Amino acid sequence: MSWTAPLAFAGCVLCIGMGVVVAESDVRLPGNNQGYEPEQPIHFSHRVHAGELGMDCLACHFAAEQSRHAGIPSLDVCMGCHTHVTSGFDAVLEERDVAKAEGREPRRIVSPELRKLYDAMGLDDDLEPIPGAEAKPIEWVRVHGIADYVYFDHRVHVARDLACEQCHGPVQSMERVRQESDLSMGWCIDCHRASPAEPGAVGMVGAEPKHVSIDCVRCHY
């Protein structure tokens, strides 16, 4: 295990020098990537979707309740709205005004960012399948990552009603997702030490409530 630390450190130094290369090749480095905020293939805004539109985090990251990983939603989830919403509101309003001035019906506006979504699904501007085009998943760039020798599971944490924000920061105000916490061992342990083992055990009379396990083997195997 010990040789991974210097490796991770060397990786981080390289990462600063080659940010773009790292983002493009989707290399994930263990260790402290706090503040990491890579560009994504589509400009998907959490500020718009989770903030302005008020969507629940679990509407897209429903896997966080059921599995180790919170997961990134498939494009079908996006198409629940983006079969109707083909561009931002501003562009739609602008086209409506222009159409009115020219005395014609407004055209469907497809924004360049949503064009990328339809391209990935092999759809044309009328959202009809393009003959011969193959659907391909969007290659989202991974933001968070902990080393392989650490065991982390969303399910247990979400079941204890820890808000996503407590670990991920104010994602609903982020235009682009950023790693807010340092994801270090100390960060995990500080919260485990401060959390009672049983939900609601804070007010227990007598002995100190037992805190969440900080046994090495809980997180390392």
In a 13 Å sphere around the CA of 209, the CA atoms on its Cβ side amount to 16
**Under rule CB under 6 A, which residues in 130-169 are in contact with ligand HEC?**
140, 142-147, 150-152, 154, 156-158, 160, 162, 164, 166-168
Rounded Cα distance between 88 and 78, Å, is: 14
Which residue, 22 or 168, is less far from ligand HEC as judged by CB?
A: 168
Residues 10-39, mask of contacts with ligand HEC (x by CB under 6 A): --------------------xxx-------
Q: If binding means CB under 6 A, how many residues of this protein chain bind ligand HEC?
A: 78
**Residue the block writes with tokens 């046994």:** 215
Which residue, 15 or 44, is less far from ligand HEC as judged by CB?
A: 44
- Sign of the CA dihedral 62, 63, 64, 70? negative
Question: In the numeric block, which tokens belong to residue 46?
Answer: 């959490």
188 near ligand HEC, judged by CB under 6 A? yes
Which residue, 34 or 129, is less far from ligand HEC as judged by CB?
A: 34
**Under rule CB under 6 A, which residues in 48-107 are in contact with ligand HEC?**
48-50, 53, 55, 57-61, 64, 69-73, 77-78, 80-82, 85, 87-89
184 near ligand HEC, judged by CB under 6 A? yes
Among 1, 27, 66, 123, binds ligand HEC (CB under 6 A): 1
Query: What Å distances lie between residue 123 and 72, 79, 111, 126, CA to CA?
Result: 21, 11, 14, 8
Residue among 179, 178, 163, 170 at smallest CA distance from 50: 170
Rounded Cα distance between 122 and 138, Å, is: 12
Q: How far is the CB of 103 from ligand HEC (least distance, A)?
A: 26
43 near ligand HEC, judged by CB under 6 A? yes
At a CB cut-off of 8 Å and minimum separation 6, what does 125 contact?
Answer: 108, 110, 118
Q: How far is the CB of 188 from ligand HEC (least distance, A)?
A: 3
- 108: which strand partners? none
Q: How far is the CB of 67 from ligand HEC (least distance, A)?
A: 8
Query: What Å distances lie between residue 25 and 8, 28, 149, CA to CA?
Result: 17, 9, 22
